[in-house]
Amino acid sequence: MAHDITVHLIRHEKTKANTERKYIGWTDEPILKKVEAEIVLQPGIVYGSDLRRCRETSQCYFPNAEFIASQNLRELHFGDFEMCTYEQLQHNGIYRAWIDDPNNHPIPNGETFFQFKQRVLKGFREIVNEKKEYTLIVHGGVIRLLLAVYGVKAQSFQQTVANHRTIYSLGWNTIEEFIGGARCTLYSEAHITVNENMQKK
């Protein structure tokens, strides 16, 4: 059965902070290196976060596509935890409370999980609003949230995973199903193969 709406979610290429396993939210780091991707998708337009790592990934994966940026698709604002590792924070009581229950324990000087969810869903629904195929390059937290809300099976944000170099594809039979908040009826994952033998940034 044909699907009225198909959405492809892709996480940006890794940054230095990603390799160091740091929480990186609104810090505007570049990707580690330029790559070429072997990818079947050929969108004319790519939507995504306005942060540099998403823009640069779009240029690598889809060099001929127009990139339309949305601040609403940014990663969670990690506030006082920004650019810190688990090892640095593990004995912090506020951090432990946030890890155990992010809905009721906000990050100091950051976003609450509710604010993050409302912002991302607003941005996502502003983009996905008619019968067509969409490609988005965003952040790990954004993909995990969208999978928790729209994925085929019910699961919490903490249970979802968003890997680099993977396409997460979600489809709805009708636009009415999507607008009504229904979970997707099609779900698949595909690996992205890249050539890293390019000049470093």
CATH code at position 116: 3.40.50.1240
What is the number of domains present in the chain?
1
- How confident is residue 180, by pLDDT bands cut at 50, 70 and 90? very high
How large a percentage of the chain has pLDDT more than 70?
A: 97
170: left (phi over 0), alpha (psi -120 to 50) or beta: beta
> What's residue 201's pLDDT?
42
- How confident is residue 196, by pLDDT bands cut at 50, 70 and 90? confident
Question: 70: part of which helix (H) or strand (E)?
Answer: strand 66-70
Instruction: Answer whether residue 200 is part of any domain.
Output: no
Instruction: Answer whether residue 201 is part of any domain.
Output: no
Per-residue CA distances from 153 to 41, 107, 183 (Å): 25, 28, 8
Per-residue CA distances from 182 to 34, 62, 113 (Å): 37, 30, 21
Quote the CA–CA distance of 67 and 54 in Å, as a whole number: 9
Residues in CB range of 189: below 8 A, 6 or more apart = 166, 167, 168, 169
> What's residue 120's pLDDT?
99
Instruction: Answer whether residue 152 is part of any domain.
Output: yes
Instruction: Answer whether residue 64 is part of any domain.
Output: yes
Quote the CA–CA distance of 57 and 55 in Å, as a whole number: 6
The domain in which residue 89 lies consists of 5-195
Instruction: Answer whether residue 82 is part of any domain.
Output: yes
Which is nearest to 192 in space by CA: 6, 3, 9, 7? 9
Instruction: Answer whether residue 92 is part of any domain.
Output: yes
Residues in CB range of 129: below 8 A, 6 or more apart = none
> What's residue 200's pLDDT?
46
Higher per-residue pLDDT: 163 or 103: 163
How many beta carbons lie within 10 A of that of residue 199, not counting itself? 6
**Residue 47 scores a pLDDT above 60:** yes
Residue range 68-101, pLDDT digits in tens = 999 999 999 999 999 999 999 999 999 999 999 9
Residue range 133-173, pLDDT digits in tens = 999 999 999 999 999 999 998 999 989 999 999 999 999 99
Helix (H, G, I), strand (E, B) or coil at 194: strand
